Each structure stands twice: as C-alpha cells, then as structure tokens.
Amino acid sequence: MRHDQPAVRGTVSRSIYDAQNTETLPGILVRAEGAADTGDVSVSEAYDGLGSTFALFWEVFGRDSINDHSASLNATVHYGTLYDNAFWDGQRMVFGDGDGEIFDGFTRSLSVIGHELAHGVTEYTAGLIYQGQSGALNEHVSDVFGALVEQYTLGQHAAEASWLIGEGIFTDEVEGNALRSLKEPGTAYDDDVLGKDPQPDHLDGYVETLDDNGGVHLNSGIPNRAFWSVADTLGGFAWEQAGMIWYDTLTGGLLPPRSDFSRFAAATVESSITRFGADSPEHHAVLAGWALVGINVAR
C-alpha cells in the first residue's frame, strides 16, 4: 500500500493506473484523487467504483478504507491483451478489458469492483485462507459486499436488487445476465460456449474438486443464498441488518483463517445475537437462512 495516506479518517484517496495492455503493474498513473476525468471510460468507472466502495464501508460500517487506517485505494485498468478477468493482487485492483466476444470491460460492473476490494478487507480482518470452504467463504464475503456496494449506491431495498455479481460485463452474444446470482445460484448464465452456471445452492450440491482452489467460486453459491435469504426475510436495506451481521462476523475475531461453512454460520448467529438479541427477527432470519441451504446451527 502507498504510505501517503490522508490525515483525516473517512477521506478517500484513489489512484488509477493504466497498464496500457501490458501485464506490468502498476502501470502509468493516469488519475489521482481529485483530478479531472480523463475521458477514458475504464478509468472513470474504476475511480467512481473505488469511491462507492469506500463510501459503503465508511458510511455504513465506520471502516476507514480496507485496513481501517486510511489506506489509499489503487487500481490498474487495461491490464493485458483481451484479458478476461479482474483480481485483487494484495495491493491493488486489476481490471482487464475482456475479449470483446464473451466479456466486455470488467470495470463496467460496480459489484465486481466492490467484490475485488472486499478481498482486501478480508485480508486485513479474518484472513480466510483461499482454499476449500474457507476459500469459498472468502469469495462469498466479496460477493456479499460487492452486492451491497451496488445496492447502497443505487439506494435499493433488498426486494428491488438484482443480487447479481458482474451484471453488464457479458457481451450481447452471451446467454446470461452475470457471473453469479446470490438469490438463485446456478442461474446466472446458460450459454452454448460458457455452459450453464455450475454454482450449487444447497450443501447437498457441494462440489468436490481440485480445480479453482477447491471450487471456491463454485461453492460460494451456498453461503451466498443463505445471505440473500436473511436479507430478503428482513426486508428494507440489506446493509442495515444482514450486512451488519456479516460485517461484525468478518471483523469481530470470531473466524479462524480456515473456517468452514459451519463455523462461519455459527459465527453469524453469534453476531446476530450480540447486535440484535436472541429473540430478534434478525437472529431467527440468520438461523433460517442457513437452514435453507442445509446448514443447521445449534440454537
């Protein structure tokens, strides 16, 4: 992280770099905090998306950037040639432009930007190991906060939201809406080239695989649906109750780095009791959400 951090808590500091279609990081600085729009759509989307993500964590959760100590937020756009991905590398967010056939630019989706930056928050808090169930939870947490960034920015209630991650990054040639759906895992796309969205929505469908660090992007669908259920049951703005419980869980010291689904679920139940009480609708919604996906937590 850069060390030229702002002195005042809650003040965002963004830097956007251009890799100029190379894979050399960070690239050339093209827009610093407060600088004028460059006219490059990817730069603008990254800059705005970093700001929206910062706003959610600061204004809702009182978290001052990813490390809670005013860390600068850095991103690189135009990474690689026809690069079909976006990722958090431990220091910055990195965005490809897509191949133009399946994917358009990855900065187009605010939920993707929020997702990637949330990996940094997880790194500084629970440190969930990126393998197996703890890795799926790492992905899940990023999907949750990616969805919440989008909803908070748009002012959407849980019932209004799409609950999609990556909406808008597919080209018109693809039969699909997004990369993943928290509401209905396994339904985000069904395409001749990509195939059908393989995410399970219940523990019974858990995918045992050596690929993808033990299926971290697949099995995240299970806790994703649990979170959606909690938010949907409680209604209103998802960040006010369900999101607060998940944030407390992530940051409250309840999770060892190799937490499995059951440990994570139990921690959210504990967090719901601590914040809202054992007889609260929030507590009962959390229990029901996990039961929906086959994970039963002792009351």
On the question of a common fold for 14-108 and 132-292, the answer reads: no
Average pLDDT over residues 236-257: 98
Average pLDDT over residues 246-273: 98
Residue 62 tokens, joined:
């009182």
Instruction: Give residue-wise pLDDT tens across range 115-147.
Output: 999 999 999 999 999 999 999 999 999 999 999
Determine the topology of domain 132-292 in CATH.
Answer: Neutral Protease; domain 2 (1.10.390)
User: Residue 4: pLDDT above 80?
Assistant: no
Instruction: Provide the pLDDT confidence category of residue 298 given band limits of 50, 70 and 90.
Output: confident
Nearest of 89, 94, 143 to residue 120 by alpha carbon: 89
14-108 placed in CATH 3.10.170.10: yes
pTM (2 d.p.): 0.95
Average pLDDT over residues 169-191: 96
| Residues paired with residue 180 on neighbouring β-strands, in sequence order | 165
Average pLDDT over residues 237-261: 98
Tell me whether residue 227 is exposed, middle or buried, using C-beta atoms within 10 angstroms of its C-beta: 0 to 12, 13 to 18, 19 or more: buried
Average pLDDT over residues 54-83: 97
Question: Do the beta carbons of residue 84 and residue 99 sit within 8 Å?
Answer: yes
User: Residue 1: pLDDT above 90?
Assistant: no
DSSP state of 37: P
For 271, the 3-state DSSP assignment is helix
Q: Which of 1-10, 21-30, 63-72, 224-233 has the lowest mean pLDDT?
A: 1-10
Q: What residue ranges do the domains of the chain occupy?
A: 14-108, 132-292
- Would you please indicate which residues are annotated as catalytic (active-site) residues? 116, 217
Q: Can you tell me the distance from the alpha carbon of 169 to that of 277, in angstroms, rounded to the nearest whole number? A: 40
